[in-house]
With several copies, the nearest count.
Chain A
């Protein structure tokens, strides 16, 4: 990670703002196909003064992985754990109300924070077949808070109407390369936006209407946040793999 990069790169913006949803003492989960939340959880452990319970889909419980894997379900993410908390266990924990913060993936997000990860176009004759249901349909309505991210902020990804509602219940937070949304009264509202873009840009590139009354430019990463992310991605490989301009 070169030192002349701007305070916010698209990559650091997403990972850091995901990390900022982590709260003290809470049970927090990152799943499959979820590199940014994996990095965000590991980053929060290093950047913030409080502790929290980090569970992941590899069975990890407060793990101390010896390396940061490419796959967010890599068993190395359970290294150093004193227990293996398997898939049935963390799903049951969530459905019985014990999951405070759950990071979940999405292809499309609407203004209520519902998601589509199933198909673009008609489900039965899809233009694009997407990965599918995954955790969302069960975890989004049952986790105390769920947060998602999109590496593309556009009217294709943040839409007025989903092609298919894979998971309802509504995201508590959504992070893109240029904006952070949070839920208020069952609608996503803009919490903050990337200081290098204008509020108009965010509005133009968002398919659903949103309230921006209380929105402010996103505060710059702290030295500890920058250091934590750098320590997780010393040679910038994750940043390059994310392929964000």
Chain B
């Protein structure tokens, strides 16, 4: 495995600095839940450009990146703020005004592409899709089962992100990461990507990982960089530590509210959160 230059544990700013313009970035979590939002905001502060965002169900993260002009392409299944907030307004505008390229997926076709990359094969068959215009739109190929079942199955080409950024509840000093509650799509993202960065709510002891190694989602040898950022999923939730900060999301969505103000409100701007 390629060992990244530089130390594994770095401040958030240094972790984000390792993302080159034009990189394809898989972002963990789902909608307003356990996304590495502090990392996403740091990408904006560093004025990253031409990013290719890969996520089954992005929302705030993709929207704010579009708002800041960091995005060239999005590969996504469903994009919304969720809750009662409906559509993601800046993402919507970016697509409607053709400022970004959209590769629209079903969540599972995007996952099939990630599976192909994780499994080391050029394509992955996926159930369903029959009759969907998405197949034509994405020029997917369907294959008749050569083993005689007569089934037609759609196959999706491999999707291998340059980097997967995963927000975990806990990391240890070796760089192993674990998540409480659902890990959403983060497992396959971490296996499909060339590199894995973790943003962790807090450190936990190596001993606690040795006591229950079954809980570890991402082993340290797969991880090239880790930052510790308490409350880093804000304004989203991180189960079981904190819930969605709905007023903050409302604030973010109000056109009167400047993006800069939102960015300075963010918890990661407080010095002490860096390791």
Residues of A in contact with B (beta carbons under 8 Å apart): 25-27, 32-33, 53, 55, 57-59, 61-62, 70-76, 78, 80-89, 91-98, 100, 114, 117-118, 123, 125-142, 164-169, 241
Chain A residues closer than 8 Å to B68, beta-carbon distance: none
CB pair A86 B126 closer than 8 Å: no
Chain B proximity of A211: nearest CB distance (Å): 22
4 closest A-B pairs by beta carbon, nearest first, are A168-B131, A95-B127, A59-B182, A95-B120
Interface residues of B in 63-95 (CB under 8 A from A): 76-80, 82-84, 87, 91-92, 95
Residues of B in contact with A (beta carbons under 8 Å apart): 1, 3, 30-34, 56-57, 76-80, 82-84, 87, 91-92, 95-96, 98, 102, 104-109, 111, 117-121, 126-134, 137, 172, 174, 176, 181-185, 187-188, 191, 206, 209-210, 213-214, 216, 218-221, 237, 239-240, 243-244, 246
Given contacts A88-B187, A137-B106, contact A70 B128 (CB under 8 A): no
Given contacts A83-B209, A89-B191, 9 further A-B contacts (CB under 8 A): A57-B30, A62-B221, A73-B33, A75-B33, A81-B210, A92-B120, A95-B121, A132-B78, A138-B107
Distance of A55 Cα from B219 Cα, bound (Å): 11
Residue of A nearest to B221 (CB): A53
Chain B proximity of A145: nearest CB distance (Å): 13
A/B pair count, beta carbons within 8 Å: 226
CB pair B30 A133 closer than 8 Å: no
CB pair A134 B221 closer than 8 Å: no
Chain A proximity of B243: nearest CB distance (Å): 8
Residue of B nearest to A99 (CB): B1
Chain B residues closer than 8 Å to A27, beta-carbon distance: 1, 221
| CB pairs A–B below 8 angstroms (14 shown) | A53-B1, A58-B182, A59-B182, A73-B82, A75-B240, A78-B239, A82-B174, A91-B107, A95-B120, A96-B127, A129-B96, A138-B127, A141-B129, A169-B131
